Amino acid sequence: MTLAAEIDNDTSPEKLLAPVLSAFWDEDKSWSLDVYRRHDGYEGLRKALAMSPDDLIAYVKDSGLRGRGGAGFPTGMKWQFIPQGDGKPHYLVVNADESEPGTCKDIPLLFANPHSLIEGIVIACYAIRSSHAFIYLRGEVVPVLRRLHEAVREAYAAGYLGENVLGSGLNLELTVHAGAGAYICGEETALLDSLEGRRGQPRLRPPFPAVAGLYACPTVVNNVESIASVPAILNRGKDWFKSMGSEKSPGFTLYSLSGHVTNPGQYEAPLGITLRQLLDMSGGMRPGHRLKFWTPGGSSTPMFTDEHLDVPLDYEGVGAAGSMLGTKALQCFDETTCVVRAVTRWTEFYAHESCGKCTPCREGTYWLVQLLRDIEAGKGSMTDLDKLNDIADNINGKSFCALGDGAASPIFSSLKYFREEYEQHITGKGCPFDPAKSTAWADQRTEVNA
């Protein structure tokens, strides 16, 4: 199906989009404290500090903010789980390990607007009575690390961090910690092990991090975008926040459009926008091509096809359609793309990143790769397809952490929607696609007729 734009008044970008976190990224030095302050920076913090910590937690809970890292767990509820008066230190750890294939929202957010995260951290630490927070940033993004170092320095100098923050009595240390390359460290308990200087392997739950997290103390682990959304909620009010999105999925969020689209990039909008709306406003798929398959929230979320263009991209809408909102990483592939190639590559990624702790994931992803490589190279047999499904079923829900479930998702969903294409590789003894036609520069050489 083609995606000819039919923009009427109700679907103009001005009405459908809602830049909040991204509202001033085009200003000179948008990442600096001065510019952030000019856009109401640290005003949310002042309002938060005027409340009691318990009221603050209740306020964030009432706003309906849900985790933006993939699972969609209510942020305020996570804060509420921290036991109070237990005599132990409490910690806030921000998960900035953005590594899910397709996901590219936190890195541009931190590059252009790191103070929104720092302000959110101060608010969260006041709420959960924490005096030491950590940002666990994946190591492979030095430009972002540079700006975080600078933003934290500025925040200390301005009195937003350190002793007695803005006269509130809150003492807060913030440590920026660079990881060293491991997808698994995006899993919150593996992240905690890694932050403790160990191999990043997930922990058995319970106990949950809220009870025994970093150094076995009560710990909140939140995604960057979740925490960065908190200052605006405080400053502009929970009713403003709830005026966007749906009842169960309120608020704004960053959608990351990538792949064979005319204009890949970040689109900040109320939850519940559809891919059709995003494509219509942004120029659609690249000229002369049509959408074949896409992921709603990274490679670990079951893929969709052009049948799903009108699925509301919120937690309930995507769930009802058989996938997960995940990280809102909308990777779009057109008809030139071999789905077997795509799934093989994702599976190689999961095999490479499997931490090795549990057998279903470690062994299962290994064998999936062997089968998929054979199929892609035209050396597979029809029984391999059932075997793929079978192995994926032995990983899904039977692994130690969600990495295994994520590895099974592209297998299940691609077999569901594109089984014929797998069969073509087997009967035709090879891949029927030309990878040169999928490249970003393919259409400059020859016109492709879709």
Residues 126-165 that bind another protein (CB under 8 A): 132, 138-143, 145-147, 149-150, 153
188 and 226 Cβ atoms separated by less than 8 Å: no
Quote the least distance from Cβ 320 to another protein, whole Å: 25
Output 60 or 187, the one with its CB closest to another protein. Answer: 187
Smallest Cα–Cα separation from 72: which of 421, 316, 407, 431?
Answer: 316
Per CB under 8 A, contacts with another protein among 308-347 are 329, 331, 333, 337-338, 341-342, 344-346
List 83, 169, 288, 356, residue binding another protein (CB under 8 A) = 356
List 23, 77, 211, 212, residue binding another protein (CB under 8 A) = 23
Sign for the pseudo-dihedral over CA of 279, 283, 285, 289: positive
Q: How far apart are CA 264 and CA 93, in angstroms?
A: 30
With binding defined as CB under 8 A, does residue 283 bind another protein? yes
Output 397 or 432, the one with its CB closest to another protein. Answer: 432
Which residues have C-beta within 8 Å of that of residue 65, sequence separation ≥ 6? Answer: 74, 75, 76, 226, 229, 230, 233, 241, 250, 251
Quote the least distance from Cβ 255 to another protein, whole Å: 8
Quote the least distance from Cβ 242 to another protein, whole Å: 20
Output 119 or 376, the one with its CB closest to another protein. Answer: 376
Per CB under 8 A, contacts with another protein among 428-447 are 430-436, 438-441, 444-445
Which residues have C-beta within 8 Å of that of residue 184, sequence separation ≥ 6? Answer: 190, 200, 201, 202, 353, 354, 355, 401, 403
Counting every residue written for the chain, the total comes to: 450
Tell me whether the omega of the peptide bond preceding residue 143 falls within 30 degrees of 0, making it cis: no
- Residue 52 CB-half CA count within 13 A: 3
List 253, 365, 394, 399, residue binding another protein (CB under 8 A) = 365
Q: Is 63 helix (H, G, I), strand (E, B) or coil?
A: helix
Output 66 or 286, the one with its CB closest to another protein. Answer: 286
Quote the least distance from Cβ 441 to another protein, whole Å: 6
**In 10 A of CB 105, how many CB atoms?**
24
With binding defined as CB under 8 A, does residue 50 bind another protein? no
Count residues binding another protein (CB under 8 A): 114
Output 17 or 56, the one with its CB closest to another protein. Answer: 17
Output 298 or 317, the one with its CB closest to another protein. Answer: 298
Which x/- pattern over 393-422 shows residues binding another protein (rule: CB under 8 A)?
------------------------------
With binding defined as CB under 8 A, does residue 31 bind another protein? yes
For the chain, the distance separating the N- and C-terminal CA atoms, rounded to the nearest angstrom, is 10
Q: How far apart are CA 408 and CA 235, in angstroms?
A: 41
With binding defined as CB under 8 A, does residue 423 bind another protein? no
Per CB under 8 A, contacts with another protein among 203-262 are 215, 255-260, 262
Which x/- pattern over 369-398 shows residues binding another protein (rule: CB under 8 A)?
xx--x--xx---------------------
φ, ψ of residue 249 in degrees (nearest 5):
-125, 70
List 14, 247, 420, 447, residue binding another protein (CB under 8 A) = 14
Q: How far apart are CA 182 and CA 63, in angstroms?
A: 33
- Residue 167 CB-half CA count within 13 A: 2
